[in-house]
Each structure stands twice: as C-alpha cells, then as structure tokens.
C-alpha cells in the first residue's frame, strides 16, 4: 500500500529519455521581500476577491477572508462538510472569471462517503459578503465528484483552474493511491478533467462519445496532480507528485495519456521498479522529472511584471524541498533554474495582476506571505 510521502530519500534513477533534475540548482538568498499577511490553520489555497481581500481555505473545513491592508480576518459560513485526515480536507478555491457579476466561487474538497470512504468533490456556490469582513456560501451545489470513493486518505489532487474563455473549468484529479483508476477510462480518477462552469461536459472533449465520466476526461494517466496553469501561449502545464522519485512537470495535450502507473521516472514505495516513459513512447513523457523528489503542491506560470526575469517561468511550491522551485520554460521545453529555500513546506502560490506573489506555508500556523522584489 502506498503511504503518502513524508520525506523522500531515494535512489537516483538513471534518466533515459526525459530530462531528470537530480540535484538542487543554485541555492542563494531569497530574491524578494517577504511580508507576513496572516497565519492560518493548515491553509491549502487562496483566491483574490475584487475588493483586495483574500479568501483562504483551511484544511479542516474553514473558509476565511483576510484584508491584507488591516490584517483583519472574517469567517465564511456554509462551507461543505469535509473528510479531514491524511492529505484530505478542504482544498482549492477559485472565483468564477465573471465573479464581479455572478458572485460564484468554486471549492474542491475531500468529501465523506459511507463506511469511512471518501473522494474528491467540487462545489459551486454564491459568496455573499457581510459587513463583518466575512460572509456565507449560499446555494452550494456539488458539480463534480470522483466516480469511486476509497478509505485511503491521500492523492485527491483537486486543483481548480478557469480557462481564458471564462466558462471552462479544469480540475486536476488524483488517483487516490489506487494506481489503476488512472488508466481506467470509465473512472475520473487520475485524470485532467475539463468541464463547463456548471459541471456539464463542454464541446470538444476527446472522449465525449462514450458519455458518463469518460466524457469529462481531457487527459489520463496522472498520479497526484497538485498544480495546473496555462502559459502565455495557452499551453496547459501540470505538476504532479510521483511515487518514490519521479515528480513530473507535463504539458497537458488533448487526449494524451501520461502513463501512470505503467511508466514513471520513479519507483514504487515498496521498492519495485517501474519502466521509464522512454520504454513506452505511446505515453507522453514529462518535460522535467525530479529524482529525488521535490513534492510539488502548487504551481503558477508567472505572468507579472514585478519579477521581469521570471515571466513565463513555472513557480512551484514544494513541500519536501521546502521552498519554491523555479523552472524556465522555453516553448515546449523546460528546465529547473533555481531553488529558493523558505525553510517551510510550501503549499500554494498565486499571483495578483500587479505581479506580486502570494504563497501559503503548509501545516499548523501556516503563514500567508506576500513576495515583492527586495
């Protein structure tokens, strides 16, 4: 049985075919000024409200709002009941691109089922703010959920991302430590999911003809995808936690299969080896793979101006590597350029339109930090 990753010490696996990053690159002083905005109980994700306030999810099932100017916080009620434990709990949050008109927010979370089982779910609700710096989720409706529930408590994935068309919702769905669902096209586990903003299947999905969960699938064969973002040219990049060794950065293509659990640059936790991507060219190989792992938990492709040299780079928050891993992207190729240590497991990264970076530390007392040039 796969346990979740605590800290990985693992054998170096020889790279044949795909570029494997085996060592930390430059380690240097932080290239930014870090401002502490607040601290939270196991924060997982953040989203920016139009009034400059920030929504922060806490894993046990709290949704908070913080005003970075005053540091005042408020509570949002009406959050769904979550299955807290292991890697599971309240997870991502995203505003509808037309939030200013419709007040819709989307949340992902580990959902309790019957008999101590659970799975990932995504709900949408209307956020009604109150005068006390908080608010309420109203008309909450589950618009997507895992096709299977399991007793395990890991590998839900469940990052959320909206497309530039303002109406397409992407969900990164983990395989729940069960391996095979990632290759089962009747299951929506271990997949990249593409939906309309109401949870129905949009035109253009590659497996539409089969209906059911199959129609939701854009790409298959991923393990525990914890970051997705578009680059400026509209390519969708995905970062996922691999097994022991073998975290991956992929470009997600329509209909492609990323190979898990048939191929990987890592090996199973019980020591069994796994064929490399190069052994099975029908599976899309990662653009970067990490051995040892970095344990990626979030990612943006930076599009701001405050850190001009990082424009177009992937900025990855890492749990195991305890910092931010910067990956330079040139077209469809990528390479690790820098590892910026932060001394804490880092959970989530987002940017505001002004180019500032906002990151969440993982775990009890995890802080929200604003990063601007020093």
Ligand X SMILES: *[C@@H]1O[C@H](CO)[C@@H](O)[C@H](O)[C@H]1NC(C)=O
Q: How far is the CB of 116 from Ca ion (least distance, A)?
A: 30
DSSP assignment of 46-98: EEE-TTS-EEEEETTTEEEEE-TTT--EEEEE-PPP---BTTBSEEEEEE-TT
Interaction between residue 50 and ligand X (CB under 6 A): no
Interaction between residue 166 and ligand X (CB under 6 A): yes
Among ligand X, Ca ion, none, partner that 258 touches (CB below 5 to 8 angstroms by kind):
Ca ion
Closer to ligand X by CB, 195 or 316: give it: 195
Give the integer Cα–Cα distance in Å for 287 and 143.
Answer: 32
Q: How far is the CB of 317 from Ca ion (least distance, A)?
A: 20
Interaction between residue 258 and Ca ion (CB under 5 A): yes
Nearest in space to 366 (alpha carbons), one of 15, 6, 41: 41
Question: What's the order of all strands across the beta sheet hosting 333-341?
Answer: 296-301, 314-318, 323-330, 333-341
Preceding peptide of 261 cis, ω within 30° = yes
Q: Tokens representing 294?
A: 């970095």
Interaction between residue 261 and Ca ion (CB under 5 A): no
Interaction between residue 203 and ligand X (CB under 6 A): yes
Among ligand X, Ca ion, none, partner that 165 touches (CB below 5 to 8 angstroms by kind):
ligand X
Closer to ligand X by CB, 34 or 147: give it: 147
Closer to Ca ion by CB, 258 or 307: give it: 258
Give the integer Cα–Cα distance in Å for 299 and 186.
Answer: 28
Give the integer Cα–Cα distance in Å for 207 and 213.
Answer: 9
Interaction between residue 292 and ligand X (CB under 6 A): no
Give the integer Cα–Cα distance in Å for 8 and 317.
Answer: 16
**With CB under 6 A, what is the number of residues at the site for ligand X?**
9
CA angle, 299 as apex, 206 and 180 as ends, to 5°?
45
Closer to Ca ion by CB, 13 or 123: give it: 13
Considering only residues 16, 35, 77, 98, which one is a binding residue for ligand X as defined by CB under 6 A? 98
Interaction between residue 309 and ligand X (CB under 6 A): no
Considering only residues 114, 131, 165, 343, which one is a binding residue for ligand X as defined by CB under 6 A? 165
Binding part of the chain for ligand X, among 85-93, 197-205, 224-232, 245-253 by CB under 6 A, reads: 197-205
Q: How far is the CB of 366 from ligand X (least distance, A)?
A: 30
């Amino acid at each position: 049985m796969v346990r979740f990753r605590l800290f990985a010490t693992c054998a170096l696996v020889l790279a044949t075919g795909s570029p494997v990053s085996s060592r930390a690159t430059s380690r240097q002083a932080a290239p930014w000024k870090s401002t502490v905005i607040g601290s939270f109980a196991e924060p997982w994700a953040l989203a920016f409200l139009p009034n400059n306030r920030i929504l922060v999810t806490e894993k046990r099932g709290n949704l908070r709002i913080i005003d970075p100017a005053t540091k005042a916080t408020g509570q949002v009620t009406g959050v769904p009941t979550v299955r807290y434990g292991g890697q599971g709990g309240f997870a991502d949050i995203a505003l509808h691109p037309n939030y200013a008109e419709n007040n819709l927010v989307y949340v992902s979370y580990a959902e309790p089922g019957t008999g101590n089982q659970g799975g990932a779910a995504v709900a949408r609700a209307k956020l009604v703010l109150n005068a006390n710096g908080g608010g309420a989720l109203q008309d909450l409706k589950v618009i997507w959920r895992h096709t299977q529930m399991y007793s395990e408590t890991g590998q839900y994935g469940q990052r959320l991302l909206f497309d530039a068309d303002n109406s397409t919702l992407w969900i990164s769905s983990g395989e729940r430590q069960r391996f095979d669902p990632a290759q089962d096209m009747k299951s929506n586990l271990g997949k990249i999911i593409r939906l309309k903003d109401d949870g129905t299947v949009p035109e253009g999905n590659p497996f539409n003809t089969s209906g059911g969960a199959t129609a939701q699938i854009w790409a298959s064969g991923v393990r525990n995808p914890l970051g997705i973002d578009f680059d400026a040219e509209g390519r969708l990049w995905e970062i996922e936690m691999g097994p022991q060794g073998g975290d991956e950065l992929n470009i997600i293509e329509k209909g492609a299969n990323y190979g898990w659990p048939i191929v990987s640059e890592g090996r199973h936790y019980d020591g069994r080896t796994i064929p490399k991507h190069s052994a099975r060219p029908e599976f899309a190989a990662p653009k970067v793979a990490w051995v040892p792992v970095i344990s990626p938990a979030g990612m943006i492709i930076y599009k701001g101006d405050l850190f001009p040299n990082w424009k177009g780079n992937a900025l990855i928050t890492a749990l195991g590597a305890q910092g931010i891993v910067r990956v330079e992207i040139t077209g469809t190729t990528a390479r690790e350029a820098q590892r910026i240590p932060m001394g804490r497991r880092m959970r989530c990264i987002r940017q505001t339109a002004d180019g500032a970076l906002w990151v969440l530390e993982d775990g009890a007392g995890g802080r929200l930090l604003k990063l601007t040039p020093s």
